[in-house]
Amino acid sequence: MAAIEDRTFKRQDGKDKVTGLGRYTADLELTGLVHCKFRYAGIAHGRIRSIDTAKAEALPGVFAVVTHADVPDVAHGGFIQDRRLFAKDYTRFEGEIIAAVAAATPEIAEAACDLIEVDLEPLPVVNDIEESLAEGAPLVHADWQSYGDAFDIVRAGNEACHSSIVHGDVEAGFAEADEVVRERYVADMQHAAPIEPRAVIAEWHGDQVTIWSSTQVPFNARSGVAHCLGMPENAVRVIVPHLGGGFGGKCEFHFEAHVAAVARKAKRPAKLVFSRREEFIAPDHRREGMVVELETGVKRDGTITARRARILIDNGAYTADAGFFPQLAGMHAIGPYRIPAVDVQAHLAYTNHQPSGSVRAPTAPQANWALECHMDELARAVGMDPLAFRLHNVVRDGDQTATGQVLDPHGAPQCLESAAEMIGYGRDLPADEAIGIAIGWWPSFGSSSGAYVKFNGDGSATIVTGAQECGSGAVMGLPRLAAQELGMRPEDFSIVYQDTEAGPWDMGSSGSQTTLNNGRAVVEASRVLRERLLDMAADKLEAATGDIELGGGAAYVKGSPDKSVTIAELAGEAAGGDQLIATGSGTPPSAPEVSGSACVGRMGMDSWVAPTFFCHAAHVKVDAETGVVRVLRVAAAHDSGTIVNPIGAEGQVEGGVVMGIGQALLEGSQIGEDGTILNPGLLEYKLQTMADAPPIDIAFVGPAAVDGGPHGVKGIAEPPSVPTLAAIGNGIRTVTGARVRQLPMTPNRVWDAINA
Examine residue 480 and state whether it is found in any structural domain, yes or no.
yes
Name the amino acid, one letter, at 161: C
274 and 294 belong to one structural domain = no
Tell me whether residue 70 is exposed, middle or buried, using C-beta atoms within 10 angstroms of its C-beta: 0 to 12, 13 to 18, 19 or more: middle
Query: Out of 131-135, 190-194, 216-220, 246-250, which region has the weakest mean confidence (pLDDT)?
Result: 246-250
Which percentage of the chain shows pLDDT scores above 90?
83
The stretch 47-73 carries a mean pLDDT of 98
Examine residue 691 and state whether it is found in any structural domain, yes or no.
yes
The stretch 197-205 carries a mean pLDDT of 97
Name the amino acid, one letter, at 324: F
pLDDT of residue 124 exceeding 80 = yes
487 and 442 belong to one structural domain = no
346 and 277 belong to one structural domain = no
Residues with Cβ within 8 Å of residue 126, at least 6 apart in sequence: 45, 132, 137, 138, 140, 158, 350, 351, 352, 675
439 and 463 belong to one structural domain = no
What is the end-to-end Cα distance of the chain in Å, rounded? 47
The stretch 151-168 carries a mean pLDDT of 92
Where does a domain end: 528, 549, 584? 584
pLDDT of residue 265 exceeding 70 = yes
Q: Is the dihedral of CA 453, 580, 643, 410 positive or negative?
A: positive
Q: How many domains does the chain have?
A: 3
440 and 452 belong to one structural domain = no
Task: For residues 420 and 575, give the distance between their C-alpha atoms in angstroms, rounded to a whole number.
Answer: 56
- Could you tell me the pLDDT band of residue 118, with boundaries at 50, 70 and 90? very high
Given this model, what pLDDT does residue 2 score? 47
Examine residue 720 and state whether it is found in any structural domain, yes or no.
yes
The DSSP symbol for 538 reads H
Given this model, what pLDDT does residue 598 score? 75
The stretch 353-366 carries a mean pLDDT of 95
- Could you tell me the pLDDT band of residue 51, with boundaries at 50, 70 and 90? very high
Vertex 742, ends 670 and 359: CA angle to 5°?
65
| Pair 195, 201: CB distance under 8 Å | no
622-650 residue pLDDT tens: 999 999 999 999 999 999 999 998 988 99
Given this model, what pLDDT does residue 108 score? 98
Task: For residues 559 and 541, give the distance between their C-alpha atoms in angstroms, rounded to a whole number.
Answer: 13
Examine residue 152 and state whether it is found in any structural domain, yes or no.
no
| Pair 264, 204: CB distance under 8 Å | yes
pLDDT of residue 736 exceeding 70 = yes
313 and 295 belong to one structural domain = yes
691 and 634 belong to one structural domain = yes
615 and 690 belong to one structural domain = yes
Given this model, what pLDDT does residue 461 score? 97
Examine residue 698 and state whether it is found in any structural domain, yes or no.
yes
The stretch 55-63 carries a mean pLDDT of 98
The stretch 736-747 carries a mean pLDDT of 98
Length of the chain: 756
68 and 52 belong to one structural domain = yes
For residue 473, give its domain range.
447-584
Where does a domain end: 584, 602, 626? 584
312 and 396 belong to one structural domain = yes
The DSSP symbol for 169 reads -
Given this model, what pLDDT does residue 698 score? 98
Given this model, what pLDDT does residue 591 score? 84
What CATH code is carried by the domain that includes residue 470? 3.30.365.10
The stretch 667-679 carries a mean pLDDT of 96
- Could you tell me the pLDDT band of residue 576, with boundaries at 50, 70 and 90? confident
The stretch 665-671 carries a mean pLDDT of 96
Mean residue pLDDT of the chain comes to 94
Three-state DSSP class for 464? Answer: strand
Examine residue 179 and state whether it is found in any structural domain, yes or no.
no
**pLDDT higher for 186 or 445?**
186
240 and 307 belong to one structural domain = no
Distances (CA, A) of 595 to 164, 401, 466, 711: 15, 10, 35, 28
Task: For residues 65 and 116, give the distance between their C-alpha atoms in angstroms, rounded to a whole number.
Answer: 9
- Could you tell me the pLDDT band of residue 69, with boundaries at 50, 70 and 90? very high
Given this model, what pLDDT does residue 521 score? 94
Given this model, what pLDDT does residue 562 score? 86
- Could you tell me the pLDDT band of residue 276, with boundaries at 50, 70 and 90? very high
Where does a domain end: 229, 264, 281? 281
Find the DSSP H helices in 426-513: 477-486
Examine residue 170 and state whether it is found in any structural domain, yes or no.
no
Examine residue 158 and state whether it is found in any structural domain, yes or no.
no
74-93 residue pLDDT tens: 999 989 999 999 999 999 99
pTM (two decimals): 0.96
pLDDT of residue 737 exceeding 70 = yes
Distances (CA, A) of 347 to 166, 305, 313, 492, 733: 15, 24, 6, 50, 29
Task: For residues 183 and 740, give the distance between their C-alpha atoms in angstroms, rounded to a whole number.
Answer: 11
Given this model, what pLDDT does residue 177 score? 98
pLDDT of residue 3 exceeding 60 = no
Phi, psi of 445 (to 5 degrees): -100, 100
pLDDT of residue 543 exceeding 60 = yes
| Pair 256, 284: CB distance under 8 Å | no
What CATH code is carried by the domain that includes residue 216? 3.90.1170.50
Residues with Cβ within 8 Å of residue 19, at least 6 apart in sequence: none
pLDDT of residue 286 exceeding 90 = yes
700-731 residue pLDDT tens: 999 999 988 999 999 999 999 999 999 999 99
pLDDT of residue 397 exceeding 50 = yes
| Pair 367, 203: CB distance under 8 Å | no
pLDDT of residue 178 exceeding 80 = yes
310 and 414 belong to one structural domain = yes
Given this model, what pLDDT does residue 378 score? 98
Given this model, what pLDDT does residue 245 score? 86
Q: What is the dihedral of CA 162, 94, 282, 333, to 10 degrees?
A: -30
